[in-house]
A and B are shown apart, each in its own frame.
Chain A
């Protein structure tokens, strides 16, 4: 295996938000200062500049500005990063360069600025077009604001757009959710991230008693989503991703198909294949700690007996899985135990016989299916 043939993506974490959302358990921070902002961008550039071993003469086939709320960072600072990457010839031809927005922050000037710098895909955290659902989630934008921002975006040329929608929210009805899906379908968008509200530990919601919709209602929401989205040309290709077949997110697909990625910025995760194995690491989580020492990370080589789980956790998220031939390209990493486990999963009817792909049942019980490989 020639390591420099493994595809490589870049994730850039811009951690600031206006406030902490009650369901969010990402590494975010509030109270952005202008000095921190400039220093963080410098640190990120320094970090990439000193990641030659990880990059290993490769070019990034996708770049993702995530957060937090990247759109809180000044457009010209985004430009500094992209210029640096271009100057060092680190961006592959036709690379996907994504940028996350909150509807609240979308403005024509800002969009023009970052698109001018090379951003070609936008991801908007709409969550819902129903003000009731938005207030259950305690979001700071409303339906009107989301529609306006989508109007503005639709005028941009050569930019693909994805939005996030969420279901299983307190008080959310089937009708309201179907409304969200129909509104999404009215815009000519390339992609939808659709996910169920999960209440994670360390979130504000975790400490509250919430009345989330019943299992039955959630199931009917999922059935509805499939029907509405399919009839509008969107198909599920990953647990929480829907798009026309030719519009899949390159960046996320790289995660699931076990590509490499370099993560820069506070608390960013990396996965890099090195001569000794697969190295996973995480940067310092606090903004100031990262700025002080951008190269410092906590990481380890994935032990051989954990690689099976690693592969299953990623490939099986892809609806179509991966062919056994493509999977075997990774066999230099793992042992026979993988195929024993695969046998068990096949016998249980959770994975298909001739492809590393969850069956319908296996996809429904993905945690149980994946856990066979642990």
Chain B
């Protein structure tokens, strides 16, 4: 056990975590050069394209130093705030964490938050300065920043370039010397933590586990603590990152387990594996259940696809327990699902996976948060769908979720950040200077954070600022619902809950957006935004005047046919609301701020 090191990597998006992972795998010979494709750990298409990690993954590496063989278990963590839950899971299986900081950028808010989590969980944090090959890298400044902001000594932090491979050796040495080996009772009775479970169509449920005490081997019977069910091990092993079968896994090790479990609920994440007849051992602490924070309704463009959509969602949740959904019926959009997500990135990723992997055409409504409504009869109603808001007569007060937002930004952009947050109903709570970096704490409604906020923060700080937020609680607020009418028909699914002081501005914005997003039809299409019975904003999509019908020459109708087919295809991708055809992107963008 003394030669095992379990560690994860904490890094901000784009700070080179995935590239560094690849270099470590390559250095330790986990894959042959032929098998190395860029950023192996990010295996989902979307992860690769967006350069982000969504799910936790693990790799076991062999490393030899001064004649000693070491087993390095490296657990990859997601780098985006939406997936912080996955981060804390990964960390709980480790004794240490590499804190990777871009030598040209410095510490970012999300890194900071994850780093605090790691320290809280008692992990040894090893700082690493990456991207030192860049001309603008300033490792000394970044070292100072790490010391100032996180409070750990970064003097000895290895300077590496994951891109060129410089410094990888010294990084591995530091890993072995600084991160403590796991503790546990090799010969005790079995106790293991389920870090993650996912569904594999061929194997059934595959779980990533960390053995705390004892060992587990192929053919052994074991019990899942929460369900009390016993299973027999079909296959265990480690990832290299390819699956490598093993006969057993022992205390301190991290690997995968297949035991003929058919449903992901049979191997819940955070649960404990015990000997099959062990009635006394207590479960490991496990993880806090994560609740979705952002909600949106999704509908298929073609109503015939509804069954296919339901099927796709049921398959998707097998690998993503943080996604929740329930059927919804909209007067205007038909049958769909109300879905709950960890955040807006999570929402986008799910949407993209549904469209790409399940070949669906979806429209989704504006993201919403969960509200608490105190009704006049004294009961409290929780709702996440604006169309469910009771009539104003029945409402005593509405409470909305408030978050604590920490924004890290270079000094130059403090003014822009404060203006933006204040405009989004933020209240400044604190401001701390770390050299050129400033940490600004705001209390803001979550609803302001989930729409456009990330993009706007990035654009007003030239991309330098980073954000981290956490929920504080629900606070009474002066909120109201605005409804949207297209061609005089209320489109229930587009309703939004907004702050009263913003309602007329938002109404104008929405009407203008829709006017631009809805293509001209053969008739005028009025767009109205209503507050109660009162129309507070109105625009019109002017009718098309005519089609341009080109000259047809030499009996060639093939070109014309192609054009007509293209128009027909385009129309198929639009949602019909009454007589009006509305394209997908109208639903995605109608609520965005124009600037």
Instruction: Name A residues whose Cβ lies closer than 8 Å to a Cβ of B.
Output: 11, 13, 25-26, 64, 66, 193, 195-196, 198, 200, 215, 219, 239-240, 255, 261, 263, 268-271, 280, 282, 309-310, 313-314, 317, 361, 364-368, 370-371, 374
Cβ–Cβ < 8 Å partners of A367 in chain B = 547, 549, 563-564, 567
Rounded to whole angstroms, the CA-CA distance of A365 and B553 in the bound complex is 20
Q: Do A309 and B551 touch across chains, with their CB atoms under 8 A apart?
A: no
Q: Nearest chain A CB to B39's CB is how many angstroms away?
A: 37
Cβ–Cβ < 8 Å partners of B547 in chain A = 364-368
Given contacts A269-B555, A310-B557, A367-B567, contact A215 B545 (CB under 8 A): yes
Number of A-B residue pairs, CB cutoff 8 Å, is 77
Q: Do B522 and A261 touch across chains, with their CB atoms under 8 A apart?
A: no
Rounded to whole angstroms, the CA-CA distance of A11 and B568 in the bound complex is 31
Cβ–Cβ < 8 Å partners of B522 in chain A = 361, 365, 368
Given contacts A309-B561, A371-B564, A374-B565, contact A364 B546 (CB under 8 A): yes
Rounded to whole angstroms, the CA-CA distance of A365 and B520 in the bound complex is 13
Rounded to whole angstroms, the CA-CA distance of A310 and B561 in the bound complex is 9
Given contacts A66-B554, A200-B550, A282-B558, contact A219 B565 (CB under 8 A): no
Q: Do A313 and B561 touch across chains, with their CB atoms under 8 A apart?
A: yes
Q: Do A270 and B555 touch across chains, with their CB atoms under 8 A apart?
A: yes
Rounded to whole angstroms, the CA-CA distance of A317 and B557 in the bound complex is 12
Q: Do A263 and B554 touch across chains, with their CB atoms under 8 A apart?
A: yes
Given contacts A309-B561, A313-B561, contact A269 B554 (CB under 8 A): yes
Rounded to whole angstroms, the CA-CA distance of A219 and B560 in the bound complex is 23
Rounded to whole angstroms, the CA-CA distance of A193 and B544 in the bound complex is 25
Q: Nearest chain B CB to A265's CB is how many angstroms away?
A: 9
Cβ–Cβ < 8 Å partners of A365 in chain B = 522, 544, 546-547
When C-beta atoms are compared, the residue in chain B nearest to A263 turns out to be: B555
Rounded to whole angstroms, the CA-CA distance of A374 and B571 in the bound complex is 12
Q: Do A255 and B549 touch across chains, with their CB atoms under 8 A apart?
A: no
Q: Do A309 and B564 touch across chains, with their CB atoms under 8 A apart?
A: yes
Q: Do A317 and B544 touch across chains, with their CB atoms under 8 A apart?
A: no
Rounded to whole angstroms, the CA-CA distance of A370 and B557 in the bound complex is 13
Q: Do B555 and A371 touch across chains, with their CB atoms under 8 A apart?
A: no
Cβ–Cβ < 8 Å partners of B546 in chain A = 219, 364-365
When C-beta atoms are compared, the residue in chain B nearest to A216 turns out to be: B545
Q: Do A198 and B550 touch across chains, with their CB atoms under 8 A apart?
A: yes
Q: Nearest chain A CB to B482's CB is how many angstroms away?
A: 33
When C-beta atoms are compared, the residue in chain B nearest to A215 turns out to be: B545
Q: Do A313 and B550 touch across chains, with their CB atoms under 8 A apart?
A: no
Rounded to whole angstroms, the CA-CA distance of A155 and B84 in the bound complex is 88
Cβ–Cβ < 8 Å partners of B549 in chain A = 239-240, 317, 366-367
Q: Do A261 and B545 touch across chains, with their CB atoms under 8 A apart?
A: no
Cβ–Cβ < 8 Å partners of B565 in chain A = 374
When C-beta atoms are compared, the residue in chain A nearest to B557 turns out to be: A313
Q: Do B554 and A268 touch across chains, with their CB atoms under 8 A apart?
A: yes
Given contacts A309-B561, A371-B568, A374-B564, contact A271 B550 (CB under 8 A): no
When C-beta atoms are compared, the residue in chain A nearest to B556 turns out to be: A269
Q: Nearest chain B CB to A120's CB is how many angstroms away?
A: 20
Cβ–Cβ < 8 Å partners of B564 in chain A = 309, 313, 367, 370-371, 374
Cβ–Cβ < 8 Å partners of B548 in chain A = 196, 198
Per-residue 0/1 for B529-557: is the Cβ within 8 Å of any A Cβ (1 yes, 0 no)?
Answer: 00000000000000011111111111111
Cβ–Cβ < 8 Å partners of A240 in chain B = 549, 551
Rounded to whole angstroms, the CA-CA distance of A366 and B547 in the bound complex is 6
Residue from A13, A263, A364 having most chain B Cβ neighbours under 10 A: A364
Q: Which of B550, B554, B557, B567 contacts A195 (CB 8 A)?
A: B550
Q: Nearest chain B CB to A245's CB is how many angstroms away?
A: 21
Q: Nearest chain A CB to B496's CB is how many angstroms away?
A: 33
Question: Can you give 18 contacting A-B residue pairs, CB < 8 Å?
Answer: A26-B553, A195-B550, A196-B548, A196-B550, A219-B546, A263-B554, A263-B555, A269-B556, A269-B558, A313-B560, A313-B561, A364-B546, A365-B544, A366-B547, A367-B563, A367-B567, A371-B568, A374-B564
Cβ–Cβ < 8 Å partners of B553 in chain A = 26, 66
Q: Do A11 and B554 touch across chains, with their CB atoms under 8 A apart?
A: yes
Cβ–Cβ < 8 Å partners of A269 in chain B = 554-558
Rounded to whole angstroms, the CA-CA distance of A317 and B549 in the bound complex is 9
Per-residue 0/1 for B87-120: is the Cβ within 8 Å of any A Cβ (1 yes, 0 no)?
Answer: 0000000000000000000000000000000000
When C-beta atoms are compared, the residue in chain B nearest to A262 turns out to be: B555
Rounded to whole angstroms, the CA-CA distance of A317 and B560 in the bound complex is 12
Rounded to whole angstroms, the CA-CA distance of A366 and B568 in the bound complex is 14
Residue from A193, A198, A271 having most chain B Cβ neighbours under 10 A: A198
Q: Do B568 and A374 touch across chains, with their CB atoms under 8 A apart?
A: yes
Rounded to whole angstroms, the CA-CA distance of A195 and B556 in the bound complex is 16
Q: Which of B507-537 contact A (CB under 8 A)?
A: 522
Rounded to whole angstroms, the CA-CA distance of A366 and B553 in the bound complex is 17
Cβ–Cβ < 8 Å partners of B544 in chain A = 365
The 5 closest A-B pairs by CB, nearest first: A367-B547, A195-B551, A364-B546, A198-B550, A269-B555
When C-beta atoms are compared, the residue in chain B nearest to A240 turns out to be: B551
Rounded to whole angstroms, the CA-CA distance of A193 and B565 in the bound complex is 26
Cβ–Cβ < 8 Å partners of B563 in chain A = 367
Rounded to whole angstroms, the CA-CA distance of A290 and B546 in the bound complex is 39
Rounded to whole angstroms, the CA-CA distance of A367 and B184 in the bound complex is 75
Rounded to whole angstroms, the CA-CA distance of A304 and B5 in the bound complex is 69
Rounded to whole angstroms, the CA-CA distance of A25 and B568 in the bound complex is 23
Q: Nearest chain B CB to A184's CB is how many angstroms away?
A: 17
Q: Nearest chain B CB to A124's CB is how many angstroms away?
A: 15
Cβ–Cβ < 8 Å partners of A11 in chain B = 554-555
Cβ–Cβ < 8 Å partners of B557 in chain A = 269, 280, 310, 313-314
Rounded to whole angstroms, the CA-CA distance of A280 and B560 in the bound complex is 14
Rounded to whole angstroms, the CA-CA distance of A13 and B555 in the bound complex is 11
Residue from B545, B548, B559, B567 having most chain A Cβ neighbours under 10 A: B548
Rounded to whole angstroms, the CA-CA distance of A58 and B565 in the bound complex is 34
Rounded to whole angstroms, the CA-CA distance of A215 and B548 in the bound complex is 10
When C-beta atoms are compared, the residue in chain A nearest to B560 turns out to be: A313
Q: Nearest chain A CB to B557's CB is how many angstroms away?
A: 6
Rounded to whole angstroms, the CA-CA distance of A314 and B550 in the bound complex is 13
Cβ–Cβ < 8 Å partners of A374 in chain B = 564-565, 568
Q: Nearest chain B CB to A28's CB is how many angstroms away?
A: 11
Cβ–Cβ < 8 Å partners of A13 in chain B = 554
Rounded to whole angstroms, the CA-CA distance of A193 and B568 in the bound complex is 28
When C-beta atoms are compared, the residue in chain B nearest to A251 turns out to be: B555
When C-beta atoms are compared, the residue in chain B nearest to A312 turns out to be: B564
Cβ–Cβ < 8 Å partners of A64 in chain B = 554
Q: Nearest chain B CB to A246's CB is how many angstroms away?
A: 23
When C-beta atoms are compared, the residue in chain B nearest to A239 turns out to be: B549
Cβ–Cβ < 8 Å partners of B554 in chain A = 11, 13, 26, 64, 66, 263, 268-269
Cβ–Cβ < 8 Å partners of B552 in chain A = 239, 255, 317
Rounded to whole angstroms, the CA-CA distance of A370 and B551 in the bound complex is 15
Q: Nearest chain A CB to B545's CB is how many angstroms away?
A: 5
Rounded to whole angstroms, the CA-CA distance of A368 and B563 in the bound complex is 11
Cβ–Cβ < 8 Å partners of A317 in chain B = 549, 552
Cβ–Cβ < 8 Å partners of A310 in chain B = 557
Cβ–Cβ < 8 Å partners of B559 in chain A = 25, 200
Rounded to whole angstroms, the CA-CA distance of A215 and B546 in the bound complex is 9
When C-beta atoms are compared, the residue in chain A nearest to B544 turns out to be: A365
Q: Nearest chain B CB to A244's CB is how many angstroms away?
A: 20
Residue from B544, B545, B550, B568 having most chain A Cβ neighbours under 10 A: B550
Known: A269-B558, A365-B544, A367-B563. 18 other contacts (CB 8 A): A13-B554, A26-B553, A64-B554, A66-B554, A195-B551, A198-B550, A261-B555, A263-B554, A313-B557, A313-B564, A317-B552, A361-B522, A364-B545, A365-B546, A365-B547, A367-B564, A367-B567, A371-B567
Rounded to whole angstroms, the CA-CA distance of A107 and B563 in the bound complex is 39
Cβ–Cβ < 8 Å partners of A198 in chain B = 548, 550
Rounded to whole angstroms, the CA-CA distance of A317 and B552 in the bound complex is 10
Rounded to whole angstroms, the CA-CA distance of A114 and B554 in the bound complex is 21
Residue from B544, B563, B564, B565 having most chain A Cβ neighbours under 10 A: B564
Rounded to whole angstroms, the CA-CA distance of A364 and B547 in the bound complex is 6
Q: Do A239 and B555 touch across chains, with their CB atoms under 8 A apart?
A: no
Rounded to whole angstroms, the CA-CA distance of A314 and B561 in the bound complex is 11
Q: Do A271 and B555 touch across chains, with their CB atoms under 8 A apart?
A: yes
